[in-house]
Amino acid sequence: MGTPGDIGSFTVWDYLVFALMLLISAVIGIYYAFAGGGQKTSKDFLMGGRSMTAVPVALSLTASFMSAVTVLGTPAEVYRFGAMFSIFAITYPIVMVISSEVFLPVFYRLGITSTYEYLELRFNKFVRLLGTIIFIIQTILYTGIVIYAPALALNQVTGFDLWGAVVATGVVCTFYCTMGGLKAVVWTDVFQVGIMVAGFSAVIIRAVVVQGGIGPILDDSYYGDRLDLWDFNPSPLQRNSFWTFVVGGTFLWTGVYGINQSQVQRYIACKTRFQAKMALYVNLLGLWAILACAVLSGLAMYSIYKDCDPWTAKFVSAPDQLMPYLALDILRDYPGLPGLFVSCVYSGTLSTVSSSINALAAVTVEDLIKPYFKSLSEAKMSWISKGTSLVYGAICIAMAALASLMGGLLQASISIFGIIGGPLLGLFTLGIIFPFANSLGAVIGLLSGFTISLWVGIGSQIYPPLPSSNLAKPLSLEGCNFTSIESNWTSTVMPMMTTLFPETQVSSRPELADSWYSLSYLYFSTLGTLVSVVVGLIVSLLSGGLKQNINRDFLLTSEDFSYLNVLFSSCKKKGQEEKVEVLNWKSRSTDTYVEQGTDNPAFNHMEMTSAEKREKINGIIA
């Protein structure tokens, strides 16, 4: 490594590869805008006519949150903190089982479009409105980060104008999302997952060649203390450990796959509940593949730069620029491959932002417009859905300006999901699992969880944890061939969102700074969920929750697991044909819901036939 200029620059071939990726994404949107007669109704636009199959939905689920934050943040995380991040490979299966066996059966049975419709069915309109508003805030904040991330990469490796790239990301994404609806989002996701894996693979293969095989990379990682995975320290104050990834990660990702509109909207758009469950489990393969690519890229990066860290040497200005720096460095002799990697980063962003815009449009139309403007025709609702997508695209571009103030992209995005997503997970858990939870308990539980997680989240940014809890690995400048350097590595503290707040001297740190505010960012979701559930249950019990009569369709019941009984009993007795019918996934009155899925039957049925009994069924009515 010499100077920053040694890494080369984009060529015409790189620009062509990049432009081709954008063009194909846009063409998919145009195709689904007109295919099959176009998006005639809001259900066609938002739910793909509920006709999707498992494999494309599974790849879309993978793409939705394996974004540019993953492509840029995870390799940098592994490079600086070691490969412990790979423990998420254990967490993902746990999350898929919980999502498919606890949350999916209820959502799919009710045939809803927005997950927040469930909150009105189970509790009341006010709870639904509260959940919707919190989700919108969470998604806009997160989307701002993932728009800014690839713009940063493009600026680093190509010299593109940073804000020009931000606007381009949002415009292309908003275009195909507004034109083609959910089908366009899903199929562009499928294409973009392929690009993400290809971009990662190009970097990994070239790194293996440069280093003389996978062996030297693993040796360097081992002797550099990057392969120490099994740290079982139970302290919740330690940034990374086995328990923070497994326990904290389970709550975090269940909040994403179990109740987040962006994910739920995809799998309940499947033809059958079996296809929906298959989508979640097939999605596991995609998650593992992306995680493996990201971790290997981080280890390869360490092997190449173990003696001359580009960040300490100020070749890059932030850790999140390390991955594009590596790509341009080792791929510079292969025209088109640097462009493929930047397309990989860009694909991660397009998939996530389009999913977010589509989900924001869905909850806005279903929760904020349709209940109050019931006379609107389906044609008008379709146009309103498209207009809403357009508006949210513009808002998300604007939010990227806030993201530019944040430090570590990976930690910033996970913190947002933990602080906001945890209490929402607690709210849905109250409704689905606990029949005595009432609307008063739901509201107070949600607000309590949100307040506590926001308190610890903001406190951790004002008073960052001390280096002793971060366990950053050492980096070296010994191999750099220059004589003097003004290092920006003044401590081993990870740069977080501290630029939002004035720096605080260690001597002025309050007592809470080294205890409460030092909680691992992976536990923010766990804390919010548990507080919401515990407070919600206590308030419900004190306010007469045991006296209410809840419609069993709104709860997870033993019948949702009856297919397991059939599987076990069929191994013992082969004559019980009546139980085999459960394998058709049509327990109780599901036939009606499946046949009329595009008409949102559960919501209409409850509103039309049981309105007079709502007070008795749902408790306190707003």
DSSP code per residue over 488-509: S--SSPPP-GGGGS----GGG-
pLDDT of residue 570: 52
270: helix, strand or coil: strand
Q: CA–CA separation, 154 vs 152, rounded Å? A: 6
Q: CA–CA separation, 255 vs 413, rounded Å? A: 13
* Phi, psi dihedral angles at 41 (to 5 degrees): -125, 165
Residue 618's pLDDT band, with cuts at 50, 70 and 90, is very low
State the average pLDDT over residues 68-89.
86
pLDDT of residue 447: 93
Return left, alpha or beta for 585; rule: phi > 0 is left, psi -120 to 50 is alpha, else beta: left
pLDDT of residue 533: 95
Per-residue DSSP letter, 409: H
pLDDT of residue 50: 61
**Above 70 in pLDDT, residue 118?**
yes
State the average pLDDT over residues 407-431.
77
**Above 90 in pLDDT, residue 529?**
yes
For the chain, give percent helix, strand, coil, nearest 5: 75, 0, 25
Per-residue DSSP letter, 52: B
pLDDT of residue 504: 40
450 Cα distance to chain centroid: 19
Token duo for residue 537: 């249950």
- Please give the residue that has the higher pLDDT: either 254 or 479: 254
Q: CA–CA separation, 345 vs 351, rounded Å? A: 10
**Above 60 in pLDDT, residue 273?**
yes
- Residue range 220-244, pLDDT digits in tens: 888 888 888 887 888 888 877 899 9
- Greatest mean pLDDT among 5-14, 276-285, 477-486, 562-571 lies in 276-285
Q: CA–CA separation, 539 vs 580, rounded Å? A: 42
Q: Name the average pLDDT for the chain.
A: 76
Quote the longest CA-to-CA distance of the chain.
Answer: 82
Residue located via tokens 């004559």: 575
**Above 50 in pLDDT, residue 380?**
yes
Nearest to 590 by CA among 560, 613, 614, 618: 560
Residue 473's pLDDT band, with cuts at 50, 70 and 90, is confident
Nearest to 324 by CA among 156, 135, 184, 463: 156
| Least confident window among 254-263, 298-307, 485-494 | 485-494
Q: CA–CA separation, 325 vs 153, rounded Å? A: 8
Percent of the chain at pLDDT > 70 equals: 75
At 49, which amino acid appears? Answer: G
**Measuring CA to CA, how many Å separate 466 from each of 238, 491, 561?**
10, 10, 46
Per-residue DSSP letter, 87: G
State the average pLDDT over residues 136-152.
78
| Least confident window among 75-79, 550-554, 571-575 | 571-575
| Least confident window among 8-12, 376-380, 493-497, 616-620 | 493-497
Residue 52's beta-bridge partner residues?
Answer: 270
Residue 506's pLDDT band, with cuts at 50, 70 and 90, is very low
- Residue range 434-445, pLDDT digits in tens: 998 999 999 999
Residue located via tokens 């070691």: 82
- Please give the residue that has the higher pLDDT: either 313 or 65: 313
Percent of the chain at pLDDT > 90 equals: 16
**Above 80 in pLDDT, residue 85?**
yes
| Least confident window among 364-373, 445-454, 487-496, 576-585 | 487-496
- Residue range 175-186, pLDDT digits in tens: 877 777 777 778
pLDDT of residue 60: 82
Residue 496's pLDDT band, with cuts at 50, 70 and 90, is very low
Q: Is 574 exposed, middle or buried (0-12, 13-18, 19+ CB in 10 A)?
A: exposed
**Above 90 in pLDDT, residue 290?**
no
298 Cα distance to chain centroid: 21
Residue 38's pLDDT band, with cuts at 50, 70 and 90, is low
**Above 70 in pLDDT, residue 590?**
no
Residue 207's pLDDT band, with cuts at 50, 70 and 90, is very high
Token duo for residue 337: 């491959």
* Phi, psi dihedral angles at 443 (to 5 degrees): -65, -50
Q: CA–CA separation, 622 vs 601, rounded Å? A: 22
Nearest to 187 by CA among 37, 403, 358: 358
Residue 454's pLDDT band, with cuts at 50, 70 and 90, is confident
| Helical packing angle, 115-122 and 125-158, nearest 10° | 160
**Measuring CA to CA, how many Å separate 64 from each of 145, 259, 330, 622?**
14, 14, 28, 34
**Above 70 in pLDDT, residue 217?**
yes
Q: CA–CA separation, 170 vs 174, rounded Å? A: 6
pTM higher than 0.95: no
**Measuring CA to CA, how many Å separate 517 from each of 163, 416, 451, 513?**
34, 15, 14, 5
pLDDT of residue 482: 56
**Above 70 in pLDDT, residue 130?**
yes
Residue 540's pLDDT band, with cuts at 50, 70 and 90, is very high
Per-residue DSSP letter, 230: -
Number of helices (H) and strands (E) in the chain: give both, helices first: 27, 0
Per-residue DSSP letter, 236: T
Token duo for residue 188: 């562009």
Per-residue DSSP letter, 472: P
Residues 607, 124 contacting (CB under 8 angstroms): no
Residues 488, 571 contacting (CB under 8 angstroms): no
DSSP code per residue over 183-220: HHHHHHHHHHHHHHHHHHHHHHHHHHHHHTSHHHHHHH
pLDDT of residue 153: 63
State the average pLDDT over residues 602-621.
40
